[in-house]
Amino acid sequence: MIIKTYELNKINNKIKFFLLYGNNNGFKDEIIKNFFENKFKKKIYRYDENEILHNKENFYNIIFTKSLFEDEKLIIISRVSDKIKDIINEVIEKEIDDTTIILNSNNLDKKSKLRSLFEKNKRTICIPFYEDNSQTLSSIASSFFKEKKIPISQETINLLIERCRGDRLNLKNELNKIESFIKDKNKIDIEDILKLTNLAENYNVSELIDNCLAKNSKKIITILNENNFLTEDCILIMRTLLAKTKRLQKLKKESEISKNIDNTISSFRPIIFWKDKNIVKQQIRKWPLHKIENLIYEINEIELLIKKNSHNSINIVSDFIINQSN
């Protein structure tokens, strides 16, 4: 059956199958996190559709194998299409009661067999996620700056929305970057937005750091050459590196305990999206734990150094990033 997002709280707890489709990935991520993930905590399994198509027996085992000591499970399947319809339909017919399954898809047209299955079945929920308008995105940005108590003009917010191409997920990512940046600021203006959002036009800061930690030295050189990083970008780059290095530290510890990198990545919170899984796997494999701990110390030292030598901060940061990627 088809519902709106605001109707989720009225849904019977016995319903275990949800199809979320549409291009508004940012809004879908919010709903998945706030309405589903927060209820399940550690019992969350994440898959890409192809993983299930290539190994459906493992998928069935997770669903149908019961344990006296296991709580209810949440399974999130990304990038779904009609290819998975028969597998999901088989599970629906089994009437499971201890597993909730979320299917996350981009656009599914009216002819989609998977969409039709979820729209017509009373034991399944289908929720379309349409693109946000500028007013909605402006409200999200305004609430963010109000919460942080950072003055910002409507003109600057409008520019931010424009730079995010009207996409909620892009906006959330840019606000995360801005949050790191504003630790040393008491106001955000148009020049700040232009500098910060310019980093996403080719390779963004996140990609720079991901490739650094994956030791992709050739890619790092390409990113640095293709981006005109400014002195003001250096603190943001180092704080992004620090945040991702601390995440890597946690991942490394958990992978050493579980002895399974794939399971560690799939169960990690906050979520690691499917498109980032391979590069995160590279990072875990290439960094011993003691070197990660040393890197965290070095990052803090470099940030102090660039604050004292702002005239040479680009060279300091670039050299440091290149050295870590070798």
Residue range 19-39, pLDDT digits in tens: 999 878 778 888 898 888 887
Q: Is the pLDDT of residue 6 over 50?
A: yes
| Pairwise CA distance, residues 117 & 1, whole Å | 9
54 with 148, same domain: the answer is no
The long-range contacts involving 215-222, CB below 8 angstroms and separated by at least 24 positions, are 215/282, 215/286, 215/324, 215/325, 215/326, 216/282, 216/325, 217/322, 217/325, 217/326, 220/321, 220/322, 220/325, 221/322
One domain, residues 194 and 247:
no
Indicate whether 12 and 108 sit together in one domain. Answer: yes
Last residue within a domain, chosen from 142, 168, 198: 198
CATH code, domain carrying 182? 1.10.8.60
Q: Which of 173, 198, 223 is the last residue of a domain?
A: 198
pLDDT tens for each residue of 117-162: 999 998 999 999 887 787 888 999 999 988 888 888 888 888 888 7
Q: What average pLDDT does the segment 168-180 reach?
A: 80
CA angle 13, 56, 86 (to 5 degrees): 65
Query: 197 pLDDT exceeds 60?
Result: yes
Check whether residue 166 and residue 107 sit in a common domain: no
214/191 same-domain check? no
- 185 and 219: one domain? no
pLDDT digits (tens, 9 = 90+) for 259-309: 999 889 888 876 777 778 899 999 999 999 999 999 999 998 898 888 888
Domain count, the chain: 3
Categorize the per-residue pLDDT at 199 as very low, low, confident or very high, splitting at 50, 70 and 90.
very low
**Residues of the domain holding 71:** 5-128
The answer, yes or no, to whether residue 201 has pLDDT greater than 60, is no
> 200 falls in which pLDDT band (50, 70, 90)?
very low
